Structures are given as C-alpha cells and as structure tokens.
C-alpha cells in the first residue's frame, strides 16, 4: 500500500537495529484516514476467502482490524493481554513472547466469540518473529476454527515470522514489507 509506505518513510523512526517506531499514526496516535485505506486493502486482498470473523491482539491491532471488519461486514475480536475480572473462565489462551517488550504474555479470548463455524482472518500491526500470530493460531486451534488468512500492516521481512508462516502454507498479505534498515533508512521489498 503506497500510502502506508510513504507514511513509514515520512514518520517512522528507527530504534536500534530492528525496531520501527510508528507511534504518530499507528501505535499511539492513530490516523483514521490511513486505517480506512488499510481496511479496504485487507478486504481487496482477502475478499474471496469467506471470512466470518477477524481476530487481533490488543491494543495496536485493533484499529486496522476494526476497519477491515467494517469492510468485510464481520465482527472483530481482540485477544486481551491482561487478566481481568470480566475475563476469567471459559477462555482460549496462548503464551506469546513479545518482541518489543521481551517478556512473555498470556493472550486470551472468551470461548463464546470463536467457534468451529468461523473462518478467521488474523490481523496484526507488525510481523517480526511471528510469535503473536503463532499465539492467535493456537487460539484458533483450541476453538476448532479455521484460518482464512493472515493480514499484517508492517512486515519486517528480514525477521523470521514470514518464513515460518510461508513454510506452513499460510496465506499471508502485508501492506508494507520492509526488506532492511540500511543506514537508518527503510528499504521496502521490491515488487516483481
């Protein structure tokens, strides 16, 4: 998605060797117009996959997932990272090692929001080593739901996640694919 690539070039900040900070349009301040375009693009990419539900992880996956859900006309469910009084029993859950926080988190959803009748599009803001997606796949498995695809806003193609998902034959689409950070600059994967 050209618009997203331009925005990453303009506003993305590099933290160290591997982390891109995009808190001015995605991770803290959110650009609704850009989210809307991303929702449309996810719909274009997965419209033939018979998606019945979208699953993401709080909090940064919610905005793009919501806009995609709007385009598909299906509900959006987000896995929660913190136990709460209202989310205790009858859960599907998985442990996810967080790339940015370097700690393990439990993610969970209530069982009532996913079933074997669902064909689910997984959405997340970033794909790095694939741990967040792996956690969501575990949740799908527990629910006996099927996978309709994985939609990523920003993929860092130089990390392990994309290959891991490709190796499992999973349909992955990323709106921006970063090949490398070179001398402080973002290089995108060239389209063939």
Establish whether 108 is an annotated binding residue.
no
Window contacting ligand 5GP (CB under 6 A); options: 13-21, 71-79, 87-95, 114-122: 13-21
Of the candidates 164, 50, 81, 175, the residue with the CA atom closest to the CA atom of residue 124: 175
Rounded CA separation 187/13 (Å): 13
Establish whether 132 is an annotated binding residue.
yes
Rounded CA separation 141/4 (Å): 32
Establish whether 130 is an annotated binding residue.
yes
Least distance between ligand 5GP and beta carbon 109 (Å): 16
Rounded CA separation 78/110 (Å): 10
Please report where in the chains the tokens 């080593």 appear, as a residue: 129
Establish whether 156 is an annotated binding residue.
yes
In our burial notation (b when 16+ CB lie closer than 10 A, e otherwise), range 74-108 reads bebbbbbeeeeeeeeeebbbbebeebeeeeebebb
Least distance between ligand 5GP and beta carbon 11 (Å): 12
Looking only at residues 22 through 41 of this chain, which bind ligand 5GP when binding is defined by CB under 6 A?
22, 27
State yes or no: residue 125 binds ligand 5GP (CB under 6 A).
yes
Looking only at residues 51 through 70 of this chain, which bind ligand 5GP when binding is defined by CB under 6 A?
60
Enumerate the known binding-site residues for 5-phospho-alpha-D-ribose 1-diphosphate: 128-132
Residues in the site for ligand 5GP, rule: CB under 6 A?
19-22, 27, 60, 98-100, 124-132, 156, 161
């Amino acid at each position: 998605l050209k618009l997203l690539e331009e925005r990453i070039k303009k506003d993305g900040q590099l933290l160290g060797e591997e982390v891109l900070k995009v808190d001015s349009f995605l991770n803290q301040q959110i650009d609704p117009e850009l989210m809307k375009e991303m929702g449309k693009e996810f719909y274009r990419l997965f419209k033939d996959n018979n998606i019945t539900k979208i699953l993401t992880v709080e909090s940064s996956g919610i905005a793009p997932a919501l806009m995609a859900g709007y385009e598909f006309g299906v509900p959006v469910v987000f896995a929660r990272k913190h136990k709460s009084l209202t989310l205790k029993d009858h859960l599907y859950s998985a442990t996810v090692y967080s790339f940015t926080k370097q700690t393990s988190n439990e993610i969970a959803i209530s069982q009532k929001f996913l079933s074997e009748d669902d064909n689910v599009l997984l959405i997340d803001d970033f794909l790095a080593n694939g741990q967040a997606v792996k956690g969501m796949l575990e949740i799908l498995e527990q629910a006996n739901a099927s996978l309709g695809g994985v939609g990523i806003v920003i993929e860092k193609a130089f990390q392990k996640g994309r290959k891991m998902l490709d190796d499992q034959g999973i349909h992955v689409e990323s709106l921006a694919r970063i090949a490398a950070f070179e001398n402080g600059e973002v290089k995108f994967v060239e389209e063939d």
